[in-house]
């Protein structure tokens, strides 16, 4: 019997792989054979006469995916220099149009539901599931987004400030303590642990200790590292690793959901958090959220609420550490507002009353947006920048390139928070040039939470420590899945006392 099974495997597996390759080749050939005259002019107006963007579709089957995944910055810059702001390629199994430039991106973002719809790589869709806010559309997206926004209004943010400050200061103190023992702090890893704990404890009501946050962040890294891998879940593949890691996180989340359910049945007062709110609410059809929906919503929230802010926090530390004049000006502002003494507790009004802190955060998000771009799918053939975008193709727009090279920003590669001052206000000359949280109906729902976290990190850094980044002039960045230093940015922190009499 075992011989028959072995024989079946010997012949069946290659046959299945051959069929998969054949189907992929046929599909890909259709994309490669698209010519400028092949697209039907669905809306009239001469769309079929517009040319496709210049570019290369790469190798058969894999297209240019390897170059894209290996070094997205080099990939984008080299092709932009050769073909311009709009070019075609073939990545992640899809014919794709890359788009940059404020007016071009504006067309994409304002065309949601008409010209384009959301489009995420299949691997990420598999990991997050169909119930995810980022994967939903239409009415489901609308009511899910509105529910999420309830937790990022001013009253809610005011309630979160004390907890965010506590978690942030505890982490910074531990950095100073370990640095005093001649231990390097791997800033990016530490920022992820800090933001994971903040997101889990504040938004979901999970009492993660620092050690738990460290362990779960490590597990989560397997999800993140493989979130853009090929969508084939065979043992050992990137998707397989991501799903295994995700399931470990989901098991922890499920445990906490059961605890919350027991608290609610016992009428024990529960915290004001997103998960408790969802458990008490009903969906528009009158049904309660299922356990699956609750845990997948929690997973998505903690995925987004720690990975992107961690990237931004690491960039913030890098920019402040290499621009001492900016850090000095921050401390002067805190001194002027009687906030340089770390014993003075922060509140939302005092934080929002600090213009230079706001400018520093805005400039960090301009130079190193954690969301570097977005995927869309063309619902119909349309025109961008004089080129035809064929129906069904993927559109990938670049926030990072648009913000870095926008003409409205003087010396755009310089870290200059004053460009956001009331006097200069460069970002207001054309709002489509500054989109760190995306735009349109899919603007990041948690942008106010992420912003207040970054402001608190900025203040706590400025008033409690100094730091030195090792080899700061030779830091190489990796752009996927979020911008971060390849080396993790080893640094040494020293505790400082400011403002005390």
pLDDT digits over 178-225, tens only? Answer: 999 999 999 999 999 999 999 988 888 888 887 888 888 889 888 888
Residue 271 belongs to a domain:
yes
User: Residue 7 has what pLDDT?
Assistant: 39
Q: What is the C-alpha separation between 463 and 169, in angstroms, rounded?
A: 10
pLDDT tens by residue, 338-373: 999 999 999 999 999 999 999 999 999 999 999 888
Give the pLDDT band (50/70/90) at residue 112.
confident
Is there a contact between 378 and 479 (Cβ–Cβ < 8 Å)? no
SS3 264: helix
Supply the range of the domain harboring residue 391: 138-495
Residue 101 belongs to a domain:
no
User: Residues of the chain with pLDDT > 90: what percent?
Assistant: 43
User: Residue 83 has what pLDDT?
Assistant: 93
Residue 252 belongs to a domain:
yes
Give the pLDDT band (50/70/90) at residue 306.
confident
Query: Looking at residue 209, which CATH number applies to its domain?
Result: 1.10.630.10
Give me the number of domains the chain comprises: 1
Q: CB within 8 A of 63, min separation 6: which ones?
A: 28, 57, 89, 90, 91, 93
Q: What is the C-alpha separation between 341 and 334, in angstroms, rounded?
A: 8
* 251 backbone dihedrals φ, ψ, rounded to 5°: -65, -40
Range with lowest mean pLDDT among 25-29, 274-278, 322-326, 371-375? 25-29
Give the pLDDT band (50/70/90) at residue 45.
low
User: Residues of the chain with pLDDT > 70: what percent?
Assistant: 89
Residue 108 belongs to a domain:
no
Task: Kindly report the length of the chain.
Answer: 501
Omega prior to 89 cis, within 30 of 0:
no
Triad 25, 30, 33: Cα angle to 5°: 115
For 448, how many CA atoms within 13 A lie in the half-sphere containing its CB? 16
Q: What is the mean pLDDT of residues 420-442?
A: 85
Give the pLDDT band (50/70/90) at residue 269.
low
Residue 124 belongs to a domain:
no
pLDDT tens by residue, 126-173: 888 888 777 777 777 788 888 788 778 888 899 899 999 999 999 999
Q: What is the C-alpha separation between 51 and 384, in angstroms, rounded?
A: 11
User: Residue 73 has what pLDDT?
Assistant: 77
Residue 395 belongs to a domain:
yes
Cβ burial, residue 128 (10 Å; 0-12/13-18/19+): buried
- Calculate the CA dihedral of residues 278, 284, 290, 294 and round it to 10 degrees: -30
pLDDT at 231 over 80: no
For the chain, what is the mean pLDDT? 85
Q: What is the mean pLDDT of residues 255-268?
A: 82
Q: Which of 68, 55, 57 minimizes the C-alpha distance to 372?
A: 68
pLDDT at 3 over 60: no
Range with lowest mean pLDDT among 18-27, 40-49, 104-113, 271-280? 18-27
Residue 20 belongs to a domain:
no
Q: What is the mean pLDDT of residues 227-236?
A: 80
Q: What is the C-alpha separation between 10 and 14, in angstroms, rounded?
A: 7
Q: What is the C-alpha separation between 423 and 419, in angstroms, rounded?
A: 8
Give the pLDDT band (50/70/90) at residue 89.
very high
pLDDT tens by residue, 240-254: 999 999 999 999 899
Residue with more model confidence, 137 or 278:
278
pLDDT at 326 over 90: yes
User: Residue 124 has what pLDDT?
Assistant: 84
Residue 299 belongs to a domain:
yes
pLDDT at 467 over 60: yes
User: Residue 246 has what pLDDT?
Assistant: 93
User: Residue 177 has what pLDDT?
Assistant: 96
User: Residue 387 has what pLDDT?
Assistant: 95
Q: What is the mean pLDDT of residues 380-409?
A: 90
User: Residue 353 has what pLDDT?
Assistant: 96
User: Residue 188 has what pLDDT?
Assistant: 95
User: Residue 2 has what pLDDT?
Assistant: 42
User: Residue 39 has what pLDDT?
Assistant: 46
């Amino acid at each position: 019997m075992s011989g028959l099974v072995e024989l079946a495997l010997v012949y069946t597996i290659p046959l299945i792989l051959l069929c998969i390759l054949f189907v992929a080749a046929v599909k890909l050939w259709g994309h490669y054979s698209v010519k400028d005259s092949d697209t039907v002019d669905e809306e009239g107006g001469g769309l079929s006469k517009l040319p496709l963007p210049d570019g290369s579709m790469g190798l058969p089957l894999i297209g240019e995916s390897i170059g894209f995944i290996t070094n997205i910055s080099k990939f984008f810059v080299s092709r932009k220099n050769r073909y311009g702001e709009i070019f075609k390629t073939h990545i992640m199994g899809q014919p794709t149009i890359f788009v940059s430039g404020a007016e071009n991106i504006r067309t994409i973002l304002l065309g949601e539901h008409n010209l384009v719809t959301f489009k995420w790589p299949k691997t990420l869709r598999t990991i997050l599931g169909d119930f995810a806010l980022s994967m939903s559309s239409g009415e489901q997206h609308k009511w899910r987004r509105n529910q999420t926004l309830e937790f990022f209004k001013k009253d809610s943010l005011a309630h979160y400030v004390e907890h965010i400050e506590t978690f942030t200061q505890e982490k910074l103190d531990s950095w100073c303590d370990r640095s005093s023992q001649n231990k390097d702090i791997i800033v990016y890893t530490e920022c992820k642990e800090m933001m994971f704990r903040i997101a889990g404890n504040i938004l979901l009501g999970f009492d993660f200790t620092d050690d738990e946050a460290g362990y779960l962040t490590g597990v989560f890294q397997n999800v993140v590292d493989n979130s853009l891998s090929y969508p084939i879940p065979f043992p050992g593949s990137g998707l397989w690793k991501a799903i295994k890691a995700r399931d470990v996180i989901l098991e922890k989340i499920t445990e906490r959901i059961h605890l919350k359910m027991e608290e609610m049945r016992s009428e024990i007062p529960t915290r004001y958090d997103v998960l408790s709110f969802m458990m008490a609410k009903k969906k528009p059809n009158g049904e309660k959220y299922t356990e699956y929906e609750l845990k997948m919503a929690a997973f998505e929230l903690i995925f987004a609420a720690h990975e992107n802010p961690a990237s931004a926090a690491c960039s913030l530390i890098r920019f402040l550490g290499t621009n001492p004049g900016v850090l000095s000006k921050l401390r002067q502002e805190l001194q002027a507002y009687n906030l340089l003494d770390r014993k003075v507790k922060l509140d939302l009004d005092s934080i929002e009353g600090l213009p230079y802190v706001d400018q520093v955060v805005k400039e960090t998000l301009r130079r190193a947006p954690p969301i570097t771009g977005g995927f869309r799918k063309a619902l119909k053939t349309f025109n961008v920048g004089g080129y035809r975008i064929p129906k069904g193709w993927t559109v990938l727009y670049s926030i990072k390139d648009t913000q870095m090279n926008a003409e409205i920003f003087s010396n755009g590669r310089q870290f200059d928070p004053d460009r956001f001052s009331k006097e200069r206000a460069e970002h207001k000359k054309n709002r489509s040039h500054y989109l760190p949280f995306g735009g349109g109906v899919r603007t990041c729902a948690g942008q106010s939470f992420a912003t207040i976290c970054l402001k608190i990190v900025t203040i706590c850094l400025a008033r409690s420590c100094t730091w030195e980044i090792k080899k700061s002039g030779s830091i190489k960045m990796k752009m996927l899945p979020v911008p971060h230093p390849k080396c993790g940015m080893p640094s040494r922190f020293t505790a400082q006392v400011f403002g005390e009499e």
